[in-house]
Amino acid sequence: MQEEVLRSATRQKLRRGKHLFRQGDPPNGIHGLVSGEAQIVGTTLAGLDILVAVYRPGDWTGFLSSVDEGPYTFSVIASQPCEVLHLPLAAVNRLFLSDAENFRRFVLPEMASIRAIYSQVVESLAFTPLQRLARRLIDLTSEPHGGQASSSFISPVTQDQIALSIMASRQWTNRLLQHLEQADVIRISRSRIDILDRA
């Protein structure tokens, strides 16, 4: 299967700040990150851009839209120069959607994302702002589909992005970040947050 995917896919390079696709675009297949990093950004009806996740090499996206043929639900933006593998929609249909076992493998990452979303909804209702912030920082350094740690830092990132991702003011988020830094949980530097303690 892996060889067939590689035969059917094309490679493209993205410079920093370039969109792989935008929220609302029609589906054109799935995309796998070969190198670099990309930010997953959802835009609210009010026009606010929310940092949802960070994709790193080995992460794939576009599953949901490839199955239901609806528009992409978020934007993917290169946060540093990236190389991306693109498997066109026709190849996705041929390789994964015509066989039950292959389809099951294909949707497993999306199912993991849905489970994570359910957990986040519950946590957002029960957690304090500090707990929500700590959880988001862990999420942003973890695999988007599996929850395993994939990085020890987030970069580039702004405090505005972090504040929007926990729906708090920038000033309040800054205080919470300082609290975590004083507790030696994180280290803050220019456009970067290092996770020192994931416990």
For residue range 61-81, what is the model confidence (pLDDT) as tens digits? 999 999 999 999 999 999 999
- Rounded to two decimals, what is the model's pTM? 0.82
Cβ neighbours of 71 (radius 10 Å): 13
Residue 3: partners with Cβ closer than 8 Å, 6 or more residues away? none
| C-beta of residue 23 within 8 angstroms of C-beta of residue 43 | yes
The CA distance from 9 to 176, in Å, is 44
CATH class of 128-195: mainly alpha
Q: What is the CATH number of domain 2-119?
A: 2.60.120.10
**Tokens 């909804």 identify what position?**
121
For residue range 120-166, what is the model confidence (pLDDT) as tens digits? 788 778 888 899 999 999 989 988 766 677 788 999 899 999 999 88
Residue span(s) of the chain under CATH 1.10.10.10 come to 128-195
Question: Which one-letter DSSP state was computed for residue 25?
Answer: P
Cβ neighbours of 170 (radius 10 Å): 14
Mean pLDDT across the stretch 84-104? 91
Residue span(s) of the chain under CATH 2.60.120.10 come to 2-119
Which amino acid is present at 157? V
Helix then strand then coil, in percent of the chain rounded to 5, is 40, 25, 35
Task: Kindly tell me if the per-residue pLDDT of 43 is higher than 90.
Answer: yes
